[in-house]
Structure 1
Amino acid sequence: MNLKAFLQELRTQRWDDHRYYHQSRINQSLHFISAISFLVAYVMLFIDPALAAVIGWVISMGTRQSGHFFFEPRGFDHVNNVSDAYKEEIKVGYNMMRKTILIGVWAGIPLLLKVQPAVFGLIAPATDTAGWLHDTGIAWLALGVGGLLFRVLQLCVVKSPFTGIVWMTKILTDPFHDIALYWRSPLALLRGELHDPMPHVRAGHPG
Structure 2
Amino acid sequence: MTFLEELQKQRWDDHRYYHHNRINQSLHLLSACCFVVSYGLVFFHPAAAALIGWLLAMVLRQTGHFFFEPKTYDEVNQASHDYKESVKVGYNLSRKVVLLSIWAATPLALLLSPDLFGVLTPATDLAGFISNTALVWLFIGIGAVLFRTLHLFRLMGPQSGLVWMTKILTDPFHDIKIYQKAPRYLLKGEMYDNMEDWYDELPIENNV
Fold equivalence (TM over 0.5): yes
Aligned residue among 112, 117, 120 for 2:117: 120
State the shift of 1:197 in Å: 2.0
- The aligned counterpart of 1:66 is 63
Question: In the alignment, what sits opposite 1:96?
Answer: 93
1:44 to 17, 41, 46: 41
Are residue 171 (structure 1) and residue 168 (structure 2) matched? yes
Residue 202 (structure 1) shift = 6.0
Cα distance in 1 for partners of 2:119, 2:170 equals 33
Instruction: Name the residue aligned to 2:107.
Output: 110
Quote how far apart the aligned CAs of 1:194 are. 1.1
Aligned residues: 204
Deviations 1:7-40 (CA, angstroms, capped at 9, x unpaired): 1000000000000000000000000000000000
- Asked if the contact 1:80–1:201 (Cα under 8 Å) also holds between the matched residues in 2, the reply is no
Name the Cα RMSD after superposition. 1.6
Distance 1:6 1:26 in 2: 31
How do 1:54-203 and structure 2 match up within 5 A?
A: 54-200=51-197
Could you tell me which runs of 5 or more consecutive residues in structure 2 were left unpaired when the two chains were aligned: none
Q: CA deviation at 1:115?
A: 2.5
Q: Distance between the aligned counterparts of 1:204 and 1:123, measured in 2?
A: 50
Q: For 2:2, what is the secondary structure of its paired residue?
A: helix
In structure 2, distance between residues paired with 1:77 and 1:123: 46
Q: Note if 1:5 corresponds to 2:2.
A: yes
Q: Which amino acid aligns with 1:88?
A: E
Please tell me whether the aligned partners of residues 120 and 132 of structure 2 are also in contact (alpha carbons under 8 angstroms): no
Q: Structure 1: which 5+ runs fail to align? A: none
The answer to which of 26-35 and 114-123 deviates more is 114-123
Measured in 1, the distance between the counterparts of 2:11 and 2:96 equals 18
Query: What per-residue deviation string (whole Å, max 9, x for no partner) do you get for residues 38-86 of structure 1?
Result: 0000000121001101100010001000000000001211110011111
Indicate if the aligned counterparts of 1:25 and 1:195 stay in contact, CA closer than 8 A. Answer: yes
Partner amino acid, structure 1, of 2:145:
L
Amino acid at match of 2:134: G
Q: Is the contact made by 1:155 and 1:163 (CA closer than 8 Å) also made in structure 2?
A: yes
The alignment-based identity, stated in percent, is 53
Q: Distance in 1 between matches of 2:199 and 2:70?
A: 17
TM-fit CA distance, 1:201: 5.1
Q: TM-score, normalised by structure 1?
A: 0.94
Query: What is the distance in 2 between the residues matched to 1:196 and 1:99?
Result: 24
